[in-house]
Chain A
Amino acid sequence: MTVTSGLAFVLAGAALSAALPGFGSARGTGMVGEAAAGVITEDGSKFGKVLIMQVLPGTQGLYGFLTAILLLSNAGVLGGGFNDNPISFEKGLAYFCACLPIIIVGYFSAIAQAKAAVGGVGIVAKNPDHSGKGIIFAAMVETYAVLALLISLLAIIQVSGINL
């Protein structure tokens, strides 16, 4: 494998795509898990409902992982083909920029979603019949993580087709 400055950008993009949304999701699910544990300490029958709340901020980590895999695959780092087409500085930078939406939005939306989900845990604790509303509140935040994921994926696919 020929090491180029473009490759460094690709690896940085993949690493940050996996790391920051993953870190946000870990923090988020941890935060909701703490709140859920508080509820379960007093009322174990609400486990199923609070578990759904805890899962919600975990998706950003998956999105980051997916982006990193797609990037590494398209850049030829995974599955071979890299030596035939070494990545130029410009292309590497373009790949890195393609990752920025999920890197940034993934991290912050995971934290924001976790906060909404903690509020949802409060709804489950006091009024389990309305837990669906709590899920909707938290799921609204997901929209922006999904949009960021789409842009990152589309950009990575487009960049791979450009000759730079």
Chain B
Amino acid sequence: MKGTDYVYAVGRIRVKELSLLSSADMRRLISAKTYGEAVSLLNSKGYDITGGGYADAINRQRESLWRLMNEVLRDITQLDSLIIKNDYRNLKAAVKAAVTGNNASGYLTEPSVYEPKKVYNAVTERKFNELPEEMRETAQKAYDILVRTRSASLADAVCDKAAMRSMLRRSKGKDSKIFSEIAECTVACTDIKIIYRCIIAGKTQDFMRESVCPCAAFDEDTLIKNALGGIDDFISYLEKTSYRGAAEALKQSASALEKYCDDEVMKIVKKGKSTAFGIDPVAAYYMAKEAELLSVRIVLSGKINSSDENVIGARVRETYV
């Protein structure tokens, strides 16, 4: 589709952007004295948090967001690289349910490219051939690992790597470069987080190789070689890459790294603010709203647990507006 084919969508999205929480709103939310005060602030912004708790309200917001995307986009598959991670999250839940026998259907995530229930049923019934083709091998491998080794972390790593590969593959050939930029950044940041956790948990080289997804930002061998040298070597290596900010974040805390990674993606997403044509503003709004929902979850769970304002503020993601 041409850029001018999205003008209706962009028009709607520009109005919807007004209802996103601004950085000033987020500061007010963080400095709310109580959970109740934070809830009433969010309710004034259309969150409708009632007695059911904030999780329901956030889910409703997410459903409404996806409905909007379906309304404004003629080809919703344009966004599949942004949501494919949910499919692999569902796959992980299904694989664990298949091995442990527990019912994990309540943990399935939407929106997704494939019907979550179908994925779940295919795995729990060991009918891997009924899975989408791209998931079959990964599902079988993760299932075998879990059965043989009981290593949930390795099974998760296999699924996560497949998710990242799928995200990168799907991001190519879209109507905008923004998808491939988001995918490249997400994969690079995920690799950093994975390697960091591997170092902390003392994982082996083989585990790292199984977990890390090749991307343009890092040479896989160099990344793993530095990781095997310990956290200081890893940080020194990162300082020489375009993700040197991750090194600074790592020196602070794991949550600072999480925030850094999401904020890096947000930097790319913000390009959508200054584009009048094409799918960029739509994709950017989707990502911005998802980031907002994550921040709202962080703030409200912090308020419930009476966490310090500064602690909450340090974890809240950068806003789009």
Contacts and interface: CB of A to CB of B under 8 A. Distances in A.
Chain A bound to chain B: yes
B4 A37 contact: no
A29 to B, nearest CB: 12
Interface string A41-62: 1110000000000000000000
Nearest to B15: A42
A38 B12 contact: yes
Greatest chain A CB density within 10 A among B8, B9, B17 is at B8
A90 interface: no
B161 to A, nearest CB: 39
Interface stretch (A18-26, A80-88, A100-108, A121-129): A121-129
A34 B15 contact: no
Contact of A38 (B4, B10, B18, B277): B10
Interface string B72-116: 100000000000000000000000000000000000000000000
A141 interface: no
Interface in B271-294: 276-277
B67 interface: no
A118 interface: yes
A115 B12 contact: no
Given A31-B4, A115-B277, A119-B276, A37 B17 contact: no
Contacts of B72: 38
Nearest to B14: A125
A126 B16 CA distance: 9
B276 A42 contact: no
A38 B7 CA distance: 8
A110 interface: no
A38 to B, nearest CB: 2
Contacts of A36: 11
A122 B10 contact: yes
Nearest to A32: B7
Interface residues of A, number: 18
A42 B72 CA distance: 12
B270 to A, nearest CB: 14
Given A38-B72, A115-B277, A122 B18 contact: no
A126 B277 contact: no
Interface string A6-34: 00000000000000000000000001101
A35 interface: yes
Contacts of A43: 15
Contact of B7 (A31, A41, A42): A31
Interface in B1-49: 4, 7-18
Given A118-B276, A118-B277, A119-B276, A35 B18 contact: no
A119 B7 CA distance: 10
A122 B14 contact: yes
Contacts of A71: none
Contacts of B11: 34-39, 41, 121-122, 125
B173 to A, nearest CB: 25
Nearest to B321: A126
B18 A126 contact: yes
B276 A115 contact: yes
A35 B17 contact: no
Given A38-B12, A38-B72, A122 B276 contact: yes
Interface string B210-238: 00000000000000000000000000000
Contacts of B9: 38
A40 B8 CA distance: 10
Nearest to A125: B14
A37 B8 contact: yes
A91 to B, nearest CB: 40
13 contacts: A35-B7, A36-B11, A38-B10, A38-B11, A38-B12, A42-B12, A42-B15, A118-B4, A119-B276, A121-B11, A122-B276, A125-B11, A126-B15
Interface of B: 4, 7-18, 72, 276-277
Given A35-B10, A119-B276, 12 more contacts: A35-B7, A38-B14, A38-B15, A39-B11, A39-B12, A41-B11, A115-B276, A121-B11, A121-B14, A126-B14, A126-B15, A126-B18
| 8 residue pairs, one from A and one from B, having the closest CB atoms | A38-B11, A125-B14, A42-B15, A38-B12, A35-B7, A35-B11, A38-B8, A119-B276
